[in-house]
Amino acid sequence: MSAGWVGGSVRALAVARRCVGAGAARDLARRPVVDAVRTLSHTVYGSRVAVGMPDAGVERGLAETVVWHLRVLAGWQPPAGVRALRALAGWFEIANVDERMAGWAGTPADPPFALGALAIAWPRLHRARDGQELRAALAASPWGDPGGTDARTIGLHMRAAWARRVGVHVPSARSWAAGGVALLVARERHVLVGVLPAAAAATAARSIGRTAAGAPSWPSFVAALPGPARWVFEPGDGPGELWRAEARWWRRVHADAAALLAAPREGQHRVVGAAVLLAVDAVTVRAALAAAVRCGGTELVDALA
């Protein structure tokens, strides 16, 4: 075991210990939202979350906290660890592109996440001035050609490509990636009843198979899914209960990440476990705050945890 993995694993454990956790998130969900945010401001999210922020600002602060800790964690890793973290952090590059396209459409957009060494192609993508230039930049990058210039075509292609990239560079995450693609296809084809753009469909097929990606009905879709992707659905699930499968995906990812972090030897598994637990924690806290806004219970948090 290299010294890089030892140091990186120690840092991963330290970062993961700072997560709020499901128990504390349930407590946040039961509080008035101002109290919940005030409590959160004294946690790992405190440097980017404060009382008085709008809801969107708090949510943005949660995400920025994850990005920052992933960047710090990457600074302690050997090259293989950085590649794994860069693959996992691809979601934030997708979010940057989404905001960029929203700005072109005249919608108020957030500033891009600062990705540093975790960027896959963001410096090049950031220079694009319209959909045509963005498509060309993507085609010349590891993301590949999305096959079109509209937001839906680019967004779906990047999400399918991200899952594929995670599956390649993070072996312990292959079942998560395949399950995520299954959820993406289920939502687009069998809930929204749309047609996947050609590039997104081809990329999705590399993760779940051509038959499943193009299945015309829900039963044929689920039946065609390979084992690494089928686990997100249970008998009785239908398009109308996709949220159950999505919650099941988060619970599985959470449990698997915790097991990776607890592995007895240092290595990529611990680093991946810590990185994913950071993301799951932010999503769980976001769900808790959403419950607090509605003065509701802990159902959202329970579904994820």
What average pLDDT score do residues 101-117 get?
95
What average pLDDT score do residues 275-279 get?
96
Q: Tell me, what's the pLDDT at 120?
A: 98
Spatial CA neighbour of 229 closest among 243, 248, 216: 248
Spatial CA neighbour of 181 closest among 151, 153, 161: 161
Q: Tell me, what's the pLDDT at 3?
A: 67
Domain residue ranges of the chain, discontinuous segments joined by +: 3-304
What average pLDDT score do residues 245-254 get?
94
pLDDT value at 305 more than 80 = no
Per the prediction, the chain carries an average pLDDT of 93
What CA–CA distance (Å, rounded) separates 166 from 161?
9
Q: What percent of the chain has pLDDT over 90?
A: 83
pLDDT tens track for 55-82:
889 999 999 999 999 999 999 999 999 9
Tracing tokens 């949510």 back to the chain, one arrives at 59
pLDDT tens track for 14-50:
989 999 999 999 999 999 999 999 999 999 999 999 9
Spatial CA neighbour of 169 closest among 87, 77, 271, 266: 87
CA atoms within 13 A on the CB side of 97: 33
Q: Tell me, what's the pLDDT at 63?
A: 97
